[in-house]
Amino acid sequence: MEALLNQTMLMLEGAEITLSLFSITLALSLPLGFFAALLRISKIAPIRWIMEFYVWLMRGTPLMLQLLFVYFALPMVGILLPSLAAALLAFVLNYAAYFAEIFRSGISAVPKGQYEAAKALGMTTSQTMRLVILPQVIKITLPPISNETINLVKDTSLIYILAMNDILRVARTIVQREFDMTPFAIAAVFYLVMTFVLTWVFKKLEAYFNKNNA
């Protein structure tokens, strides 16, 4: 029992890094993704092409490759980042691209008549987006955003390649040292709890927006 408690305490230290990476990535990539979505549908062609290339690049290459590029390639041009900052940069750029496509699809799904009706009522562009379009976009995009957020929980395990002591790397270290598979079970419980909580939160949000935008 004492060994299990000690293992759990070590795992919690790794969980702090995992939670930090997850929460900061989500907090930054969601608004960045929404802004990128607006640029993706811009009427200015060069801006639209640049954002299309960015989304294509981020979605078309593995996140692990992007992590390795940020961590090892940037120092070659004089940009030195701590491990957590390098991981955050790669994760935020990657997930912002996925969220950008989700938001773009959500914005495109709103009928054009909604824009015309808001304009007829004398609303400004910002008022139309905030009061008419955005609530509908949130309702449409919540399910895919939920899926990507749960993927983010699992993708945080990729930072072991940067030698960061996240929960999975701590678990593997204990297993190799003590020849005990229990830490892997503890890590699995941690990820399952996180995904359960996130699933519950998004279900509540979907119910709320379905009720208020029926």
Where in the chain are the domains? 2-212
Give me the CATH topology for the region 2-212.
MetI-like fold (1.10.3720)
Q: Are 137 and 106 in contact (CB under 8 A)?
A: yes
10 or 213: whose pLDDT is higher?
Answer: 10
How many CB atoms lie under 10 A from the CB of residue 52? 13
The string of pLDDT tens digits covering residues 63-120 is 999 999 998 888 888 888 888 899 999 999 999 999 999 999 998 888 877 777 777 7
* Predicted pLDDT at 81: 86
150 or 173: whose pLDDT is higher?
Answer: 150
* Predicted pLDDT at 4: 66
Q: What is the DSSP string of 137-158?
A: HHHHHHHHHHHHHHHHHHHGGG
* Predicted pLDDT at 21: 93
* Range with top average pLDDT, 64-73, 117-126, 129-138: 64-73
Distances, alpha carbon 184 to alpha carbons 27, 175, 181, in Å: 28, 8, 6
* Predicted pLDDT at 9: 76
pLDDT band of residue 209 (cuts 50, 70, 90) is confident
Sorted by sequence, the CB contacts under 8 Å of residue 209 that are 6+ apart come out as: 135, 138, 139, 142
* Predicted pLDDT at 201: 93
Question: pLDDT at residue 214 above 60?
Answer: no
pLDDT band of residue 196 (cuts 50, 70, 90) is very high
* Predicted pLDDT at 2: 63
* Predicted pLDDT at 169: 83
Q: Give the pTM.
A: 0.89
